[in-house]
Structure 1
């Protein structure tokens, strides 16, 4: 065993042989090639893992299942958060087994941009008093992370956080997570952002309609696509 993985909250995700036989591969999310590949082959995680791919390929579905299998709320928050607005998650987490580092922390935090408003309301109504609703969306996310950094040493999950962040704020998020990793945490990010995908030292999985594969940063579709657009913005709108 690589000794460096002893301290990773999750070294690997794979199918649970006790339940996966019951999984309906012809029903969503089993219809997604990356999900089928995950159940067939498993997925190795490093200190920083990035999931990229077009809309609908399964990035958020896989991240959500990882969060729930780990014991986190599908709508976000720390391990133990209980808020629910509208349940919409799949049962994929029930088919997964997490291979954990033997000496790793069991704490974690799941930041899901699309449900942060309801999470802030949950905090307001709980013992965790907060003024996050008074901040802009991007400011509130960075403030929330800064608040949690001293207490959450474990697994940090981010589902498309760039939806609320400027480029500068994306860079600040990477800086904050580098501090977290230095203190023993692990990070998994689902993103469309070439800035977040450039997280130093990250292993990057590109999800598609054929499954997923490890891809170098310069070969990512989101990177080549942005470079092409920035080289000729007008051409992309003229149909050339």
Structure 2
């Protein structure tokens, strides 16, 4: 895998506007750790963890600090429905690579329906977009990625596996790997999928009450749990 000028090298606290440590989301352990220590970003960063651990809060904050729309889309997208995001982005400072691409794109499965409507009402460069509403959830998600994820930039995805089948996840892995191999793209991903967490070259962090814990794919709790279930599902099913 060839690594070049990725857009962002570090995320940390904005010294001129630090978040209130007593107000959510700064009270969450992973956010506290980034505000305290910062986090170096390589070409691929993957966050895994339980629901409510802070994965989505982190990727959303980084996306908004980069200037990407909180509900999905590229830098400059104006789609907005209901304010649910935190103000974490206002307290973050991103260190950028001089000369790297300033383009970014954020995809989050939970806001895709409204985002597709925004794209239909605001065709790019006056040209009609694909009929995303006429496709299945997974088909539309992959079609958008194939249409928009091109060239250099920062590509941020929040739990995209919720829209994708097994083969769809493989297709997404292929697209993201090709982008990063180009040398001027960077991926930040939160996921519950062991398949997507296996993205080549990724720095993987387990997110939880301990903060951010770097780990290798083979030793992730996520991977161990899925292996145990696949080996003997009856051991788990008898408890539900």
Matches within 5 A, 1:95-134: 95-128=91-124, 129-134=129-134
Mapping of residues 170-185 of structure 1, within 5 Å: 170-183=169-182, 184-185=184-185
Unaligned segments of structure 1, at least 5 residues: none
Deviations 1:113-146 (A, max 9, x none): 1001100000111123330111111111111111
Report 1:215-234 matches (<5 A): 215-234=215-234
Whether 2:18 is the aligned partner of 1:41: answer no
Contact 1:217–1:223 under 8 Å retained in 2: yes
2:24 maps to 1:28: yes
Deviation per CA, 1:163-205: give whole Å up to 9, x if none.
0101111111010111211232111110000000011111101
Q: C-alpha distance in 2, partners of 1:172/1:42?
A: 32
Q: Normalising to structure 1: TM-score of the pair?
A: 0.94
Superposition pairs of residues 35-184 of structure 1, within 5 angstroms: 35-128=31-124, 129-150=129-150, 152-183=151-182, 184=184
List structure 1 runs of 4+ shifted beyond 2 angstroms.
127-130
Q: Which residue of 2 aligns with 1:9?
A: 7
Q: Which runs of 5+ in 2 are unaligned?
A: none
Cα deviation, 1:3-24, whole Å, max 9, x if unaligned, reads: x98711111100011111xx22
> CA-atom RMSD, angstroms?
1.5
Q: TM-score, normalised by structure 2?
A: 0.94
C-alpha distance in structure 2 between counterparts of 1:6 and 1:140, whole Å: 30
Deviation for aligned residue 1:239: 2.7
Deviation sequence 1:17-58 (CA, Å, 0-9, x none): 1111xx222221112100000100001111111000111110
Distance 1:125 1:73, change over 3 A: same
Aligned residue pairs total 234
